[in-house]
Amino acid sequence: MSGTAQAALPRLSVQDLSVTYVGRNGEKTEAVRDVSFDIADKPGVGEVVVFLGPSGCGKSTILKAVAGLLPPTKGKVLLDGQPVGEPGRDRGMVFQAYTSFGWLTVQENVEYGLKLQGVAPKERGERSREVLKEVGLLDFAGRLPKDLSGGMKQRVAIARTLVNKPRVVLMDEPFGALDPMTRWGMQGLLLDVSRVEDNTILFVTHDVSEAVYLADTCYVLSSRPARILHRVDIPSFAERDIHLKSSNEFRAIEKKLLDMLYAPQPAA
């Protein structure tokens, strides 16, 4: 393949993805149907792509298929032109539930994956401290997770993902359990991270305001089985801060997305 053709490959390509769960008694639940999208490779530019849809519609299933945690029933997922198989370091996932090891310090939690990879202690320390500084937790490197607030625990999860330098970061409603003030702070942190890290962030939410605030591109999904109803490119706001959420432009996009979510949907 020529260099030009290689450069034109999307970073992530999901093609006709369908996922059906089979229960213990053989009953089938169709979670995702014929979902296709491409995310361009933009070197040096962090991009946030949000999947917005009602609770239980299948948003998380799409993320799990990209992560390699669920095999597609139909279709395929390509990362840099290569089929996705099992979970790999090129994809990192952050869940809503806090997933730190309670007996390890913050820094040890962040270094855990690097240790499994056989990375030398000196390099592990350097990389973990760099990413802890990035998420504002360097002063808490020696603390245990039980000493941290909910927002700080999610920062640990984000740091543990970023330290592996994944091409794609998958975030499954990671701020859903946080209070509004902490949630807004974590949204700001995510935007800061997206500006300095060369990775694509796929973010799942059912919160319309969160989608508008974070997204460069938003996919509006149907109720289960998840299908893409609309793609919306969010304007590049000059400043994304607390005042933006009360602006007329922001509220107009919120209304547009809400209208799309609550409009009559085509039959499944």
pLDDT digits (tens, 9 = 90+) for 181-216: 888 888 888 888 887 777 889 999 999 999 999 999
> What local confidence, expressed as pLDDT, does residue 7 receive?
54
**Whole-number Å distance between alpha carbons of 87 and 66:** 9
Whether the pLDDT of residue 29 is over 70: the answer is: yes
Whether the pLDDT of residue 250 is over 90: the answer is: yes
Mean pLDDT of 12-40: 93
Mean pLDDT of 1-7: 49
Whether the pLDDT of residue 158 is over 80: the answer is: yes
DSSP summary character for residue 204 = E
Query: Would you list the domain boundaries of the chain?
Result: 9-90+166-262, 101-165
Q: What is the Cβ-side half-sphere exposure of residue 71, based on CA atoms within 13 angstroms?
A: 4
For domain 9-90+166-262, the CATH architecture is 3-Layer(aba) Sandwich (3.40)
Q: What is the band of 5 on the pLDDT scale with cuts at 50, 70, 90?
A: very low
The position carrying tokens 């799409």 is 62
Tell me which amino acid residue 113 is.
G
Q: Note the pTM of the prediction, 2 decimals.
A: 0.89
> What local confidence, expressed as pLDDT, does residue 244 receive?
87
- Calculate the dihedral angle through the C-alpha atoms of 263, 29, 204, 36, rounding to the nearest 10 degrees: -80
**Whole-number Å distance between alpha carbons of 26 and 11:** 36
pLDDT in tens, 78-100: 999 999 988 888 999 998 877 78
Q: What separation in angstroms does the CA of 234 have from each of 109, 174, 253, 256?
A: 35, 21, 8, 11
The β-bridge partners of 38 are 13
What residues contact residue 192 under an 8 Å CB cut-off, 6+ apart?
Answer: none
Strands 74-79 and 47-52: unpaired
DSSP summary character for residue 138 = G
Mean pLDDT of 127-143: 93
Q: Is the peptide bond before 71 cis (omega within 30 degrees of 0)?
A: no
**Whole-number Å distance between alpha carbons of 137 and 129:** 9
- Percentage with pLDDT > 70 across the chain: 96
